[in-house]
Amino acid sequence: MATGCAGLLAIVTPALSTAAPAGGDGVTPSQQTALDLGIQVADKETGAAALSAATNPNPYLANLPDIEDADYFGWQRKMAADAAARADSAKLAKLRRDGLTANRTGVAARAALTPFVHDEEEPAGTAGSNDSHADAEPIAPFGTGAAKMPAVRILGELTPPPASTPAEITTEEDQGAIPLATDSGIDGSGSATTDSVLGDGPHGLTGDGSNDYDFFAVEVGAGMTLTASTVGSPATTDTILVVYTADGEPVAANDDAAFGTFASELTYKPTEPGTYYVMVGGYASDPLPADPFDSGSGAGGADVGDYTLALSSTKLDADFYSVRLRPGDTIGSTGTGAVTGLTVRTPSGEQRVGGVQTDASSLYPPTSPLPGGGNTTIAYVAEEAGWYSLEVSGATGSYDVTLEAYRPGTQADRGRTQTVLLDFAPGRVNTGTWGGPGVRTVSPFAAFVPQWGISRADARKVENRIVNQVRRNLQAEIAGTNPAVNVEVLNARTNPELIGQENVSRIYVAGTIAETGISTIGIAQYIDPGNFGHQDEAIVLLDVLSAPAGPESSLNTFMGAESDRIAFVSQAVANVTAHEVGHTIGNYHTDNADDVHNMMDSGGANFGQNLYGVGPDNIGGTADDENIEFVTDTYAPVEGFTGEEDTENVTSWAYAGR
């Protein structure tokens, strides 16, 4: 991972550049495709020592210069263990009881609120009565309004498809491309299995070493779902699964089936019937073939070993439940038993958040009552009043889903305004807040200003512009669905009395990677849907941002003679700062490779256009620069969530006034 400078950079005027580099920093096209499919491209580590702030800070919280170095495998396994411990804690149980009881407006409060139970109405052993958003089974008593109950346990069953005996697939090399795919024998519906090996054939260990891929052709009928799994393979074989269309487009993928296991598992329901191609490969830092029609187009270095593959094309049961939400309702849901996936849809049917065997609840602050643990966990902030659906999917059998709803955390603080305090000259910072080595002295923001070709005498002017821009980001630009945003953004230099006070969230804009021991551009303390912790902290480091022109992560790469340097640096640093604030109030990363430029786009590539606001001329500080805002965008695929995140809505309700 690029770590910037060893210390504070020498004060020099940067070289001028008039164009940004093409693409990301060091990511091949096939690696970018892997990231787009949700497959990491970094080495997988199993020891806790490898997940240190100096080498691998948590990529959910950090804005990384090089996303290809992010170890999601290791962090997801650690977060799952932490989430399980949190779910069993007495402190969380009390927070949930108190929070749910407080939600019962207009109803006599109890000492402890017990969630009511909703039993699935679909008759046992059948499917089809609640299998879509339109046919969702209503749970009328649920809600945060008067006389409603804000917690429910949903008990149901995912009905198994008709029993069938899997056909045995016989494989023969070379089957490493779509034209060479082995016929699975599945013709519209059915199942098949095979025991095979990765690493043999003309491109394996005894061949040219470009990677052995095994492709299987599956005919998927209308209304059917394609499933593929290497669960049951030897634990040491690290597989990946990818589904391709007949024209070579990858449409679904999975690397690790659940919380750090090497086996893979996926489901894909195509919009059109036809032949689809399931590829089994070994994990690598560049894991996909450059051309799925060329069996020798791999980059080499993939894992090898025996595997067992199970394939099917069948109708799978999925259960939908509808609940009425109010704008700003913050819901949390988790499931055990057969459930492996939970998905929320808006009243009009748009998918907002989905999670398959994903749990980031360990990143919630200690004051958050949202539930976690189980097989998968999601959180969501409602945009509008109406009936939303919760889809339950997974294996077959019984399940137990918890759904809880809370009003935003700031609504409990009547008459008080939350403050976001930007500290440009903190002196000493406790870096342990973000996993660093402890209290360290950091260089002030003013020390970096000359490295952007700006006089140090103008440092306070730049600071003030950053404060004003972050204020616009968090106030004027997020009118959204919340008419009463209640937040102030201030400079710690002129408001030192606020440091350490209640309802003050401190954001440091100072220091370097070497000074803090944290290898990132910025990092937040928590991700807090609903904003239940009002003193969460974040830090924005400045050595990568002020490095000499070249890397896409450096602001100097996008400045030339035409640039209004003060305007561009102020804008870019303010956006990075607002990005970190966005985490502390509940936003996850969004996709940095699509066409939507969002304040919460992840790091690693496209910094200029996505986060810094550089316009089409690739020069920052010119008339065509873009005002980056919190908007609706797809989740970052590699973090495991699906659907779209309305970051404007999450941000606006985080600061909900009464």
| pLDDT surpassing 90 at residue 258 | no
DSSP state, 290?
Answer: S
CB atoms within 10 A of CB 180: 17
Determine the pLDDT at residue 470.
Answer: 97
Work out whether strand 504-509 and strand 538-540 pair parallel, antiparallel, or are unpaired.
parallel
Tell me what percent of the residues of the chain surpass a pLDDT of 70.
Answer: 92
**Residue 20 near residue 552, CB atoms below 8 Å:** yes
**36 SS3 class:** helix
**How many Å apart are CA 427 and CA 429, to the nearest integer?**
7
Q: What's the CATH fold of domain 89-160+318-407?
A: Jelly Rolls (2.60.120)
Residues above pLDDT 90, as percent of the chain: 81
Reply yes or no on whether the pLDDT at 657 is more than 80. Answer: no
pLDDT at 7: 28
DSSP-derived pairing of the beta strands 330-345 and 386-406: antiparallel
For residues 273 and 634, give the distance between their C-alpha atoms in angstroms, rounded to a whole number: 26
Element (H, E) at 194: strand 190-198
Q: Give the C-alpha separation, 22 to 20, whole Å.
A: 6
pLDDT, tens digit, 9 for 90 and up, residues 125-134: 888 899 999 9
3-state SS, residue 609:
helix
**pLDDT confidence of residue 26:** 72
pLDDT tens readout for residues 93-123: 888 888 887 776 544 444 457 899 999 999 8
**How many angstroms separate the CA atoms of 284 and 306, rounded?**
16
Least trusted range by pLDDT, from 65-79, 409-423, 583-597, 612-626: 409-423
The answer to whether residue 263 scores a pLDDT higher than 90 is yes
Token pair 């949700």: residue:
38
Give the mean pLDDT of the chain: 91
Rounded Cα–Cα distance for residues 603 and 67 (Å): 6
Strands 439-441 and 641-642 come out as unpaired
Helix or strand run (H / E) with residue 647: helix 647-654
CB 212 within 8 A of CB 200: yes
**Confidence (pLDDT) at 538:** 98
What residues does 423 pair with on adjacent strands? 508
Is 230 in contact with 345 (CB distance < 8 Å)? no
What residue type is assigned to position 410 of the chain? T
Please report which confidence band the pLDDT of residue 413 belongs to, taking 50, 70 and 90 as the band edges: low
Model-level pTM greater than 0.85?
yes
- Asked whether the beta carbons of 194 and 169 are under 8 A apart, the reply is yes
- Work out the pLDDT band at 628, boundaries 50, 70, 90: very high
Query: Which CATH code fits 167-314?
Result: 2.60.120.380
Q: Is 146 exposed, middle or buried (0-12, 13-18, 19+ CB in 10 A)?
A: exposed
Helix (H, G, I), strand (E, B) or coil at 574: helix
Lowest mean pLDDT among 9-23, 149-163, 280-294, 620-634: 9-23
Stretch 595-613: mean pLDDT: 92
Is there a cis peptide before residue 294, judged by omega within 30 degrees of 0? no
**Residues 507, 537 contacting (CB under 8 angstroms):** yes
Write out pLDDT tens, residues 197-256: 999 999 999 999 999 999 999 999 999 999 999 999 999 999 999 999 999 999 999 999
φ, ψ (nearest 5 deg) of residue 450: -60, -20
Residues in the chain: 658
What is the identity of the amino acid at 149?
M
pLDDT band at 5 (very low <50, low <70, confident <90, very high): very low
Task: Please report the pLDDT score of residue 12 as a whole number.
Answer: 30
**54 or 112: which leads in pLDDT:** 54
In this structure, what token pair is assigned to residue 103? 């939600």
Confidence of residue 2 (pLDDT cuts 50, 70, 90): very low
The HSE-up count of residue 359 (CA atoms within 13 Å, CB side) is 30
User: How many CB atoms within 10 Å of residue 165?
Assistant: 8
First to last CA, the chain: 45
- Yes or no: say if 170 and 433 are a contact pair by the CB < 8 Å rule: no
Whether 24 shows a pLDDT value over 90: the answer reads: no
Alpha helices, DSSP H only, in 401-527? Answer: 459-474, 513-516
Cβ burial 411-450 (10 Å sphere, 16+ → b, else e): bebeeeebbbbbbbbbeebebebbbbeeebebbbbbbbbb
pLDDT of residue 1: 32
Q: Mean pLDDT check: name the lowest of 377-381, 517-521, 530-534.
A: 530-534
Both tokens of residue 343? 């998905």
Instruction: With a cut of 80, say whether residue 481 has pLDDT above it.
Output: no
pLDDT, tens digit, 9 for 90 and up, residues 354-380: 998 899 999 999 999 999 999 999 999
Q: What is the rounded distance in angstroms from the CA atom of residue 502 to the CA atom of residue 143? A: 30
525 burial level (CB within 10 Å; 0-12, 13-18, 19+)? buried
Query: According to the model, what pLDDT value does residue 261 have?
Result: 84
Quote the CA–CA distance of 168 and 59 in Å, as a whole number. 41
Two structure tokens written together for 599:
């304040």
**DSSP-assigned letter for residue 44:** P
Q: Residue 261, exposed/middle/buried by CB under 10 A (0-12, 13-18, 19+)? A: middle
pLDDT in tens, 8-23: 222 232 333 333 333 3
